[in-house]
């Protein structure tokens, strides 16, 4: 049982709403925090986005997303770094708790090489983030995304990447969907103490309807979300908990109904 | 580059063929080993299956599969143990290198409890296997199957389960599809030295077409199969390498064409 005041709406849960629509929906449903996506920020422009947020009084729990470091060419990797600088600027202007990093993958790049490109990319952007006062948040993604979205796939791997940096410069996002299967989950979360930059929740449906768009509302699947939330609490994280659900049928549902469902399932199952 | 004489056809790659048809196809294509599935053994009966194999001169690299330990009720778990005893008898009669264990999962059972049921189930069947001269082979399955097929999801977790037992009683199956993403892969395979009971190959397609039926022919996806094969060799495994591909479009292809394709891609990419 967790209080509604820790609830944050990750904008991807209501993917069809524009930034002002998502903000308006949060305010109307008594939600205090929001996780923003850059394509929706860029649609209205950064200054307008900052104004919408300020006027609403909402807290920005994260900006999604930077990262995507691996690229076959040096110039391609440079372009990714420039894009991360822009993302850091956006997170700074919006006073977000963190910039989520989905580190990327290159289907044509051998896995060990792609992982080395992530090490190098992180080292290139960390000083810029520190100067901007933005916390970078490495998000390990489920191993089923290692071929096309993220070569960062376990909490321990994220910790190894983060440890060279100050915890307020490079933290870790824990997402139940991505980490729940880990045989060493309890110990790995405990090792994150002081590094947890955010916590995302959704559920794992059985059978899994789709690799990307098949995530479930909390309580619909097999993840022991409340147990994991307690472990994350014990690791010292007291911030907002984002509900981030990629699910086509949810996206096809009217957003007021989605808001009621996610808030209810948050209160019942997180 | 690996020699064709290490090639073994896992029967699931030609899922539409009966046991005698699969055996006949192996003989005709100059294949020396086969991995058998129990539903195809039971279709003809164990004695007939043994006679088909003896007459063909084929070596049986594995019998698939035992395991499936978690069940909400004690009587349900007992029934699973009895089924494992029958599987061990089949593997013994067929003189298989090992009985593959897919340990199972219970969507209604909390993950830590299901994992404990696996520990207990393995302890119950190991003495029976040892007496029968059958090597049990724990197969870690990809974490995306943790909700419905297997709560054993990493090599290190398999090692922890296996270590209390003699390596010839409880070994480990390494399958490229299930293990390739592991950030600690090289070290984990090295730790398997003396425990590798089998090696399975297929590829990971990007994007993944289907959670279960979307596996690719070697060379079609992103896995560095030859690099992993070398690591498995270095861990002391010199036995047959099974090609096991769950792929609906391959199953819809005439089996002679499938045999040519898998042998060619084995020689080129393993």
Contact flag B111-A156 (C-beta cutoff 8 Å): no
* Rounded CA separation B242/B234 (Å): 18
* Rounded CA separation B73/A16 (Å): 44
Distance from CA of B25 to the nearest CA of A (A): 34
Size of interface A-B (CB pairs under 8 A): 77
User: Contact at 8 Å (CB) between A118 and A152?
Assistant: yes
- Give pTM, 2 decimals: 0.96
Going from the C-alpha of A209 to that of each of A215, A258, B17, B227, the distances in angstroms are: 8, 19, 29, 32
Which residue among B144, B183, B204 places its CB closest to the CB of A147? B204
Distance from CA of A209 to the nearest CA of B (A): 9
Distance from CA of A207 to the nearest CA of B (A): 7
Span B48-69, average pLDDT: 98
Q: For chain B, what percent of residues have pLDDT higher than 90?
A: 95
Q: What is the pLDDT of residue B3?
A: 74
Contact flag A206-B111 (C-beta cutoff 8 Å): no
pLDDT averaged over chain B? 96
Q: What is the pLDDT of residue B107?
A: 87
Q: What is the pLDDT of residue B4?
A: 80
Q: What is the pLDDT of residue A4?
A: 80
Angle between helices B74-93 and B46-56 (to 10 degrees): 30
Q: Please determine, for residue B1, whether its predicted confidence score (pLDDT) is greater than 70.
A: no
Q: Please determine, for residue B214, whether its predicted confidence score (pLDDT) is greater than 90.
A: no
User: Contact at 8 Å (CB) between B138 and B125?
Assistant: no
All residues of chain A having their beta carbon less than 8 Å from the beta carbon of residue B144 are 142-144, 181, 208, 211
Q: What is the pLDDT of residues B59-112, one digit of tens each?
A: 999 999 999 999 999 999 999 999 999 999 999 999 999 999 999 998 899 999
C-alpha closest to that of B218 among B199, B231, B194: B199
Q: Is the peptide bond before A26 cis (omega within 30 degrees of 0)?
A: no
Span B6-26, average pLDDT: 97
Distance from CA of B157 to the nearest CA of A (A): 7
Q: Please determine, for residue B20, whether its predicted confidence score (pLDDT) is greater than 60.
A: yes
All residues of chain A having their beta carbon less than 8 Å from the beta carbon of residue B107 are 206, 222
Q: Which residues of chain A have pLDDT under 70?
A: 1-2
Q: What is the pLDDT of residue A107?
A: 87
Burial A131-167 (b: 16+ CB within 10 A, else e): eeebbbbbbbbbbbbbbbbbbbbbbbbbbebbeebeb
Q: What is the pLDDT of residue A1?
A: 54
Which residue among A143, A211, A224 places its CB closest to the CB of B143? A143
Q: Is the peptide bond before B65 cis (omega within 30 degrees of 0)?
A: yes
Q: What is the pLDDT of residue B50?
A: 98
Q: Which residue has the tokens 């599935």?
A: B37
User: Contact at 8 Å (CB) between B173 and B200?
Assistant: yes
* Rounded CA separation B31/B61 (Å): 12
User: Contact at 8 Å (CB) between A152 and A113?
Assistant: no
Q: What is the pLDDT of residues B159-188, one digit of tens each?
A: 999 999 999 999 999 999 999 999 999 999
Q: What is the pLDDT of residue B91?
A: 98
More confident residue, B214 or A55: A55
DSSP 8-state assignment for residue A199:
E
* Rounded CA separation B244/B18 (Å): 16
User: Contact at 8 Å (CB) between B85 and B61?
Assistant: no
Q: What is the pLDDT of residues B125-157, one digit of tens each?
A: 999 999 999 999 999 999 999 999 999 999 999
Put simply, whether A182 touches B (Cβ < 8 Å) is yes
Tell which of A106, A119, A181 to mutate to test the B interface (max B CBs under 10 Å). A181
Put simply, whether A220 touches B (Cβ < 8 Å) is no
Q: What is the pLDDT of residue A63?
A: 98
Going from the C-alpha of B220 to that of each of A104, A261, B268, the distances in angstroms are: 21, 41, 11
Chain A residues 96-155 with a CB less than 8 Å from chain B: 107, 110-111, 115, 142-144, 146-148, 153-154
Q: Which residue has the tokens 């060279």?
A: A164
């Amino acid at each position: 049982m967790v209080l509604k005041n820790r609830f944050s709406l990750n904008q991807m849960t209501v993917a069809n709403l524009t930034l002002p629509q998502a903000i308006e929906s949060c305010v109307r449903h008594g939600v205090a925090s929001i996780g923003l996506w850059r394509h929706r920020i860029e649609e209205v422009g950064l200054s307008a986005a900052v104004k919408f947020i300020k006027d609403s009084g909402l807290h920005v729990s994260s900006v999604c997303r930077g990262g995507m470091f691996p690229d076959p060419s040096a110039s391609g990797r440079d372009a990714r770094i420039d894009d991360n600088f822009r993302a850091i600027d956006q997170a700074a202007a919006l006073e977000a708790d963190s910039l989520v990093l989905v580190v990327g993958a290159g289907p044509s790049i051998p896995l060990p090489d792609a992982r080395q490109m992530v090490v190098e990319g992180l080292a290139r952007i960390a000083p810029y983030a520190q100067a901007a006062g933005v916390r970078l948040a490495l998000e390990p993604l489920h191993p089923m995304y290692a071929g096309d979205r993220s070569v960062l796939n376990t909490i321990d791997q994220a910790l190894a990447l983060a440890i060279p940096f100050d915890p307020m410069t490079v933290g870790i996002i824990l997402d139940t969907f991505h980490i729940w299967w880990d045989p060493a989950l309890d110990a790995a979360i405990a090792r994150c103490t002081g590094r947890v930059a955010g916590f995302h929740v959704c559920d794992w449906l059985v059978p899994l309807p789709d690799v990307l768009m098949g995530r479930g509302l909390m309580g619909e699947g097999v993840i022991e979300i409340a147990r994991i939330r307690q472990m994350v609490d014990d690791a010292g994280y007291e911030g907002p908990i984002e509900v981030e659900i990629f699910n086509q049928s949810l996206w096809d549902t009217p957003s007021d109904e989605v808001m009621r469902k996610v808030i209810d399932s948050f209160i019942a199952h997180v």
